[in-house]
Amino acid sequence: MKTTTSKNLAVKKSSAKESESNSNSSNSSKDQSQLMELFVDELKDIYWAEKALTKAIPKMIKKASSEELIEALESHLKETEGHVKRCEQVFGAIGKEPKAVKCEAMAGLVKEAGEIMDETEEGPMRDAGIISAAQKVEHYEIATYGTLRTFANALGLDHAASILEQTLEEEKAADKKLTEVAESSINAEAATA
Ligand code: FE
Ligand code: ZN
Ligand code: FE
């Protein structure tokens, strides 16, 4: 069984090598430059998004009631300011000037967060709405940084990949923290009901 598998792999490998040398279709320099273009476009998008969040998160903090939620948002606001700087470092690592291009997705998520805060009564219900909006933001960022890190690795941009990885981990931790806040506030609500 084992021999067959490795034999198949060996065959596949050599045929892949053959087609590469024949047509030069996979992993060509054209593919690499298109991937680089995608990478830069995505970086400009998240750079805009992070800057927008440094203005949106303070509004969420003002509208939040729970101490735990306020603390979580304040600590992530500080991290978000660091994410803006890290984006600039990634631009630097690829020899480009930082440039932000409006992220329609993040603009939409921020707009919806505002609507949720307007439509809910101050207190636990508004807090629940803020958490749901904030987690959608984190998931968008996790998707983007995961993609950017993978692209950076594929492009051999090791330094950029490690910077992106650091932000990715902070976004994941922020999302996890928000889940904890949601669970503990729901528990607290149930206890007083
Ligand atoms: Fe971020
Ligand atoms: Zn976008
Ligand atoms: Fe974030």
The model carries a pTM of 0.83
Q: Which pLDDT score is estimated for 189?
A: 73
Alpha-carbon distance 89 to 84, whole Å? 9
* Residue 15, token pair as written in the block: 């045929």
Distance of CA 106 from the midpoint of ligand 2 (Å): 6
Q: Which ligand is nearest to the CA of 41?
A: 2
Distance of CA 63 from the midpoint of ligand 3 (Å): 18
Give the number of domains in the chain: 1
Are the beta carbons of 173 and 54 closer than 8 angstroms? no
Residue 87 included in any domain: yes
Distance of CA 33 from the midpoint of ligand 1 (Å): 26
Distance of CA 156 from the midpoint of ligand 1 (Å): 23
Residue 6 included in any domain: no
The 10s digit of each residue's pLDDT in 148-177 is: 999 999 999 999 999 999 999 999 999 999
Residue 83: name the closest of 181, 140, 177, 165 by CA: 165
The residues, ordered by sequence, that sit 6+ positions from 42 with a Cβ below 8 Å of its Cβ are 144, 147, 148, 151
CATH of the domain at 122: 1.20.1260.10
Q: Which pLDDT score is estimated for 28?
A: 84
Are the beta carbons of 98 and 51 closer than 8 angstroms? no
Q: Which pLDDT score is estimated for 10?
A: 41
Distance of CA 191 from the midpoint of ligand 1 (Å): 34
Residue 48 included in any domain: yes
Alpha-carbon distance 46 to 66, whole Å? 29
Distance of CA 104 from the midpoint of ligand 2 (Å): 5
Alpha-carbon distance 64 to 113, whole Å? 12
Q: Which domain holds residue 36?
A: 31-192
Residue 3 included in any domain: no
- Transcribe 38-59 into DSSP letters: HHHHHHHHHHHHHHHHHHHHHH
Distance of CA 34 from the midpoint of ligand 3 (Å): 27
Q: Which pLDDT score is estimated for 26?
A: 54
Alpha-carbon distance 154 to 39, whole Å? 10
Q: Which ligand is nearest to the CA of 138?
A: 3
Q: Which pLDDT score is estimated for 162?
A: 98
Residue 159 included in any domain: yes
Q: Which pLDDT score is estimated for 1?
A: 44
Q: Which residues of the chain have pLDDT under 50?
A: 1-25
Residue 64 included in any domain: yes
Q: Which pLDDT score is estimated for 188?
A: 75
Q: Which pLDDT score is estimated for 9?
A: 40
Residue 98 included in any domain: yes
Q: Where are the alpha helices (DSSP H) in the chain?
A: 2-23, 29-63, 67-93, 104-119, 124-154, 158-192
